[in-house]
Amino acid sequence: MHELGHSLVAKGFGIPVREIILLPIGGMAQMSKKPKTPGQELLIAVVGPLVNVAIAFGLFGVGAVWLGSEGMLNAFSGLADSAPSLQTMWVMLTASNVMLAVFNMLPALPMDGGRVLRSVLSMGLGPSKATAIAAVVARVLAVAMLLFSLFTGQLMLGLIALFVFFGANAEAREEKMSGALEHVTVAQAINPRAVTFAPDTTMADAIQWLVRNPQPAFAVLHDRRLVGVVTRRELVTAAQEKGPYAYVAAAMKREVPTIAATVPLTEARTQMNAAESPYIAVVSGEEFLGLITEQELAQQAAMADVFARFGRPSGDRFARQ
């Protein structure tokens, strides 16, 4: 219900939610794109703990009717020594929701409190600086939690500390990559020397290209018109199942997400995530220009990181023509 709260608010802002993943140490709502504004992120983040607060109030209210307010408070204070019973379970559920709400509001990415901290900082500092600061705070808290867990022997807290530490690193990398891709259009990121296949290319010929070319996906063209896309894994699987003389057309996917050439790479990445596709076709009107894959995204982010450290060359002589 906590993650469902996040998801419903996100969908209310027009942010697609692919799935809710539940883990032994918590859960997460997988969203296809980031909130557009810090205010949206703030509301999406805070509603999860509010769901736990609402559940806790509801459980306490029912328990107060059942046992009386004083009886519920006494049950809380004596919870550690209580024998298993329906009353004990009720009090534990109430206490668990309170603890979930409080714990999730710790200012440590990727937990809700960390997202609240980042959204508030973003309103004055921008998303990049806000994420960097929130990630540092999260790492410090994670190290403190890990040390505490080692001294007290609380294994679960140690696992959560590791989750927070590496999650904060992932959030920082994600923001850094998004910032790098924001100023590059998909047309600029296309590989002009990308290998393409015809529908009647045999598996044997296609497999030879896999050895010589690191492309993760290949466009399939007929009369210069895109008719499908095939990935390296799909080619290998099809060759094993259908033999070397089968055609590439038998392995290609015909439904391919497309994007306009002038759109920023950040939008291409968002649409790829929404479609759960490792590639997207770049078009200008009816003309196919090329594919954007995760490889192009990583290359552009790496280039932007180099330019950010050492400055872009004068005249931008390395820009793609």
Q: Is the pTM of this model over 0.85?
A: no
Angle at the Cα of 112 (from 111 to 115), degrees rounded to 5?
95
Question: What does the alpha-carbon distance between residue 148 and residue 137 come to, in Å, rounded to a whole number?
Answer: 17
CATH of the domain at 300: 3.10.580.10
Verify that 147 and 290 share a domain, yes or no.
no
Taking CA atoms, 96 is separated from 59, 60, 288, in Å, by: 11, 12, 55
- Residue 320 pLDDT exceeds 50: no
Residue 282 lies in a domain: yes
Q: Is 17 in the same domain as 159?
A: yes
Q: Tell me, what's the pLDDT at 297?
A: 86
Q: Which of 134, 152, 181 is the last residue of a domain?
A: 181
Closest CA to 290 of 261, 254, 319, 320: 261
- Same domain flag for 139 and 230: no
End-to-end CA distance of the chain: 51
237-257: b (≥16 Cβ within 10 Å) or e? ebbeeeeeebbbbebbeeebb
Express each pLDDT in 123-149 by its tens digit: 999 888 999 999 999 999 999 999 999
Nearest to 131 by CA among 162, 174, 161, 160: 174
Task: Dihedral sign for Cα 20, 25, 26, 30, please.
Answer: negative
What's the rounded mean pLDDT across residues 22-36?
84
> CA 62, CA 132: separation in Å to the nearest integer?
44
For the chain, the domain total comes to 2
- Give ∠ CA 24-30-32 in degrees, rounded to 5: 170
Is the separation of the CB atoms in 181 and 264 below 8 Å?
Answer: yes
- Residue 209 in any domain: the answer is yes
Question: Tokens 């050895």 correspond to what residue?
Answer: 211
pLDDT of 319 > 50? The answer is no
**Domain end among 122, 156, 181:** 181
Average pLDDT estimate for 165-183: 85
Co-location of 218 and 299 in the same domain: yes
Q: Which range, 13-22, 46-55, 68-77, 265-274, has the best average confidence (pLDDT)?
A: 46-55
321 in a structural domain: no
Evaluate whether 24 touches 157 at the Cβ level (below 8 Å). no
For residues 257 and 308, state if they share a domain.
yes
238-253: average pLDDT: 91
Q: Is the pLDDT of residue 171 over 60?
A: yes
- Is residue 160 assigned to a domain? yes
Candidate from 168-172, 209-213, 248-252, 309-313 with smallest mean pLDDT: 309-313
Quick one: 195 and 77 in the same domain? no
Tell whether 125 and 160 lie within a shared domain.
Answer: yes
d(CA 100, CA 94): 10
Higher per-residue pLDDT: 174 or 113: 113
For residues 148 and 250, membership in a common domain is answered with no
Indicate whether 114 pLDDT > 50: yes
Residue 228: burial class (beta carbons within 10 Å; 0-12, 13-18, 19+): buried
**Is 267 a domain residue?**
yes
pLDDT greater than 80 at residue 187: yes
Residue-level pLDDT at 318: 41
Do 8 and 113 lie in one domain? The reply is: yes
Q: What is the pLDDT of residues 79-88, one digit of tens each?
A: 667 777 777 8
Query: CA 135 to CA 143: how far, in whole Å?
Result: 12
Domain of residue 267 covers: 186-316
With 70 as the cut, is the pLDDT of residue 247 above it? Answer: yes
Residue 247 placed within a domain? yes
- The mean pLDDT of the chain is 87
**Quick one: 170 and 258 in the same domain?**
no
- Token representation of residue 281: 């076709």
Write down which residue in 149, 181, 213 finishes a domain: 181
Q: Bigger pLDDT: 288 or 25?
A: 288
Same domain membership, residue 130 and residue 30: yes
pLDDT for residue 225 is more than 80:
yes
Judged against a pLDDT cut of 90, whether residue 9 lies above it is answered with yes
Quick one: 219 and 279 in the same domain?
A: yes
What pLDDT digit, counting tens, does each position of 37-68 carry?
999 999 999 999 999 999 999 988 888 888 77
Burial 106-130, CB ≥16 within 10 A → b, else e: bbbbbbbbbbbbbbbbbeeeebeeb
Q: Indicate if the pLDDT at residue 239 is higher than 60.
A: yes
Average pLDDT over residues 72-99: 79
Per-residue pLDDT tens for 96-113? 899 999 999 999 988 999
